[in-house]
Copies of this chain bind each other. A is one copy, B any other.
Amino acid sequence: MTQYKQALNGEISPAMEVAARRENVAPEFIRDCLANGTAVLPANPAHSGLRPVVVGRSFTTKVNANIGRSTEQSANSAELEKLQVALDAGADALMDLSVGTNLDLLRRDLLAQCPVPFGTVPLYEAFSKAGGNIDDLTEEFLLEVISEQAEQGVDFMTIHAGLLSAHVPLASKRVMGIVSRGGALLAQWMHHHKRENPFQSRWNEILDICSRHDVTLSLGDGLRPGCLADASDPAQFAELDELGRLVTQCRHQGVQVLVEGPGHIPFNEIQMNVERQQKICQGAPFYVLGPVVTDIAPGYDHITSCIGATMAAFHGASLLCYVTPAEHLCLPTADDVKTGIIAFRIAAHAADVARKLPGARERDDALAHARKTFDWNKQFELALDGETARLRHQQGRCHQDDGHCSMCGEDFCAVRKFSQLKQEAASGIRK
């Protein structure tokens, strides 16, 4: 029975209890949010070693890391390293977007080492297994892959079921067209096979598999805009309307569901995008990729996107898919993975503070106190990346006195100066 069905029955599962402890809320609250669909708890029983994490706008904002081989780069060992780097940097969820051969072996190894919810895009494996030949990719074949991955323990799957053949002409009018790998594949498939989206044709069977294995459906946005010029356009919103319809069907079948979103969106349109998704998808958790707020900074898209992610999370997105500095240029390295996660942990945390989530600011306040008292070790302990901060501080030090840093030097340290002044003033009063 899925976590959703248990919640609807009023039951509290062990997974709900684990998630509740992590969020510092009552398990009943987790249950209620699962039951009303504003949260999901991706927890495939076959994923051993999983520490379940709740995703929803009533809880801390979560960050997902995408890893995976491309057909041209990386090896299983490199992806296993990226998994570890992502976890160490604080990823709350992980997706393996690998394409190529023998994906089940890599996935088995990743799953075994992944204590956070693990996601995939089954279409990638299906297309890889079909040898990259769209004609050999059958509906039966897609179902097989979904079923195998569900049995293997995948917690959530991106299924681009909302992209209909009628939407493709809308995307043709765009600057960038379709930039989603899954979206482009499906458009090609529908064109070649002269059939509707295969996920729609086999929708009930997919829901059956997800219900049986408690796989959370992550409804993919195959028509997410790939540049600012394409943002918030008829293609994007036509697909969103369809995603809203599919959310209802998932709920009828007791399947957990979240909805994926853009992409490239100007900063001023982010609030509207989140609110529109929340309305159309009846509060289903919104899982955004960035969004990137300008197209002019390749090499720095972890920054362009964490700006957008902060705004999106502030207005109600619950899961942020990181973007790395490699975006638009090459496959990310392990370093890119770390940089991407840190940028998005900043976005998620800044949004949680801004949403006034209970306790969210405690770590900031503790760090500020350590900063005021020049307790550098405590600062590094509390920092998102204490190792990097410590290294920078040490590089800048001229002598052993820890009562200031090289930014201002001892004579010009405002914090030191004002502390001394307060002490003087206090002793003056006592005299």
Contacts and interface: CB of A to CB of B under 8 A. Distances in A.
Main secondary structure of the interface of A (DSSP, over half): helix
Nearest to A372: B176
Given A99-B412, A298-B389, A383-B298, A228 B330 contact: no
A350 B307 contact: yes
Given A298-B383, A417-B184, A71 B407 contact: no
Contacts of A172: 422, 425
Contacts of A195: none
A329 B415 CA distance: 13
A361 B228 contact: yes
B70 A408 contact: yes
A342 B406 contact: no
Nearest to A411: B132
Interface in A302-358: 303-304, 306-307, 310-311, 314, 325-331, 342-343, 345-347, 349-351, 353-356
A410 interface: yes
Contacts of A14: none
Contacts of A307: 306-307, 310, 346-347, 350
A412 B99 CA distance: 8
Nearest to A348: B294
Q: Please state the number of chain copies in the assembly.
A: 2
Contact of A418 (B187, B304, B363, B396): B187
A368 B295 contact: yes
Contacts of A176: 368, 371-372, 415
A105 interface: no
A99 B411 contact: yes
A285 B306 CA distance: 27
A9 interface: no
A382 B408 CA distance: 36
Interface string A218-252: 00000000111110000000000000000000000
A328 to B, nearest CB: 7
A216 interface: no
Given A307-B307, A407-B70, A368 B99 contact: no
Contact of A300 (B310, B327, B346): B346
Contacts of A328: 371, 405, 407
A229 B361 CA distance: 8
Contact of A392 (B303, B314, B329, B346): B329
Interface string A386-430: 001100110111100000011111111111011111101100000
